[in-house]
Structure 1
Amino acid sequence: MTRFNTFLLSSAKACCLLTSLCLLTSAQVQAERTLPQVTWSRTDFAPYFIVQGPYENQGISDKVIQLLISQIPSYQHQAIVMTLPRMLNDAQQGKPICHASLLKTQAREAFIEYSDPVMINYANGIITSAAGLQKFGMSPETITDIDLASLRGKPLSIMVYQGRSYAPHIDQIIAEDRRTDNSIFRVKSGTSEHDRLIRQLFAKRLDGFMGRPEEAYFDSVSHHIRQKLYLIGLTGQPRTSVTRIGCTKGSWNDDLLKEINRLVKTKTMRQAINKAYINWLPEQLRGSYVMDQAIHFAPDTLVFNQQ
């Protein structure tokens, strides 16, 4: 065989290989296009979703999404950073979108279908500084639960997140006070504004913001805060709450929610969620938190130690 014939033979093999690779790639692309799509909303809600900084993508709900994507290949997944109001608006419009950490509310149930409970969370309170405690008539040694409604009309400035549900009782107080001319609540909208909020708190331009103990811990760690943050508990609400995965209502999610409900009950998933949540809890709460109790979903069995 001549050198020229050998070259032609080698070229023919290369062409066949290239054609096979192109066909395989085309088939894979076509298969992906035929899979039902789901968008996972990642809102600016650390430490559940950490959308920037050294701990980016290491949030509690970030881990949940990553695990679900790896275990549910029958859907084409994409995770997008957006505001919670945008996520809820997309769901109202019928777009195939899910959120991995939603409280169930009556208003949302009109257009959101929920998974079985995914995790137990400690209750919301008012996160503040030592100077902020004084505005609430407290000191680090005298912190006690407070009735949120009793604060109405006082010269206070408390930040709340647009579209976020804290608890039905708390949501109602906020909504009623927001309709007054001298509301104590200010609304945070948009994403990537948390750094500014912390600066406002320590500059005494803000007296506190609504959040959970894990949010206060994340702020302390991620912002290297030397001053302590404190959590004032609120009366009239359970000590803990249950969060779920919420997806747009519709037949598109039938198989997805069935698979999610199966996975969140597996030992592997429970341990992963447990680890992710405990990593962001203040140290004094880690020993008392047992995620396995979440399988039975008895949220009032947990005791919230105020520190």
Structure 2
Amino acid sequence: MIKIILLLFIAFQSSFVFAKQITWIAIDFAPYYILADDLEGQGRDELLIKLIQQQMPDYTFNYKVFPASRAIHELSNFNNQYCMISLYKTVERQRHIAFSEEYSTIGLSTSAALRKDVAQSLGITNSAIDLEKLVTEHGLTVGVAANRSFGHEIDALLAGLPSKQVLVRPGRDTLESLTIMLLKKRVDVILGYPSEHHYHKLHVDKQDELTQVRLSIASQITAGYAGCNNNAIGKEQIAAISEALKQAHKNEQFRLAMSRWLPEQFQPQLASIFKN
């Protein structure tokens, strides 16, 4: 009997400890997390987590770094105890991940980076492009990071393209690797978001060879959500995080964090979101 009581006490204590601390998944994916740079800690999602912590003073926040391609796997494991922000809600993910009711991040939708010479040869200017047409009619190869969702429409489009013309990049620093491959003409188009392309252009495109354009299939605005492992503690944590996000959205620092790495030409579009 004493042994049973002791085990129950330990289990209770363990649950209490986990309930009051959150281990955030951080990924090697600038500019959301900047892990090794002069601007370390100034990633968009890092700034947002700091803002969330201001609304959750009773919680201790920790971090665990994973390759971006492994983050969803870890977050989908029922036996883990992690949380993460800026996630697309998909039907498949909702089976394994407890998502926040409130959005965690908001910004401009998926864009395509490509070389300026390719854009010029195809007559691409600043207007949105038809990605399917570029791949099927012009034979371009598109590069994407492994295990990443861009929302139902774009995910479905990518799944329907010829597999030999879609390069899926696993491992660490995937978008930086894809950007370098783009410069070396190993791929023709890479998908990401405006702030991502802007950050990597600043770091690796020394000759100003790259540009980015919107996708015609994508809506102008996209929202990401927070998620935790879908177990009892994870559900408690995500409920608290959702309440914290509701308060964080009212803070001017939230707006500054969302626009931290957005290229200047896209700033007015994001500003219009917050005015509405």
Shorter-chain TM-score tier = 0.7 to 0.9
8 A contact 1:131–1:204 mirrored in 2: no
Q: Pairwise mapping of residues 225-240 of structure 1 onto structure 2 (< 5 A)?
A: 225-240=206-221
1:274 to 244, 255, 259: 255
> What is the CA deviation profile of residues 178-222 of structure 1, one whole-angstrom value per residue up to 9, with x for unaligned ones?
xx45x3210111113444433322222221210111112111333
Structure 1 residues 119-198: aligned runs within 5 Å: 119-134=105-120, 137-139=122-124, 142-153=125-136, 154-177=138-161, 180=162, 183-198=164-179
The count of aligned residue pairs is 259
Q: 1:145 to 1:194 in 2, by over 3 A?
A: closer
- Amino acid in the other structure paired with 1:149: E
**Cα distance, 1:272 vs structure 2:** 1.9
Aligned in 2, Cα 1:208/1:160: closer, same or farther, shift over 3 Å? Answer: same
Quick one: higher RCO (CA 8 Å, sep 6+), 1 or 2? 2
Measure, in 2, the Cα distance between the counterparts of 1:273 and 1:226.
Answer: 33
**Is residue 116–residue 211 contact of structure 2 (8 Å, CA) maintained in 1?**
yes
Question: 1:58 maps to what in 2?
Answer: 42
| Identical aligned residues as a percent | 24
Question: Root-mean-square deviation (CA), in Å?
Answer: 2.7
Change (3 A) 1:226 1:32: farther
SS in 2 for 1:53: coil
User: Are residue 88 (structure 1) and residue 72 (structure 2) matched?
Assistant: yes
Flag the 1:206–1:257 CA change in 2: closer, same or farther, 3 A. same
| Greater Cα shift, 48-57 or 113-122 | 48-57
TM-score by length of 1: 0.75
Q: Specify the structure having the higher radius of gyration (Cα).
A: 1
Where does the alignment leave 5 or more consecutive residues of structure 2 unmatched? Answer: 1-12
In 1, the alpha carbon distance for the partners of 2:236 and 2:191 equals 36
State whether structure 2 residue 88 is matched by structure 1 residue 103. yes
Change (3 A) 1:173 1:223: same
Q: Deviations over 1:65-119 (max 9, x none)?
A: 2333454354443212212342222232211111111011111111111111123
What residue is the counterpart of 2:225 in the other structure? 244
Q: Which runs of 5+ in 1 are unaligned?
A: 1-30, 295-300, 302-307
Asked if 1:114 is matched to 2:124, the reply is no
Structure 1 position 274, deviation (Å): 1.1
Separation in 1, partners of 2:140, 2:57: 49
In the alignment, which residue of structure 2 is the partner of 1:46?
Answer: 30
User: How far is the alpha carbon of 1:230 from its aligned partner?
Assistant: 1.6
The amino acid of 1:283's aligned partner reads: E
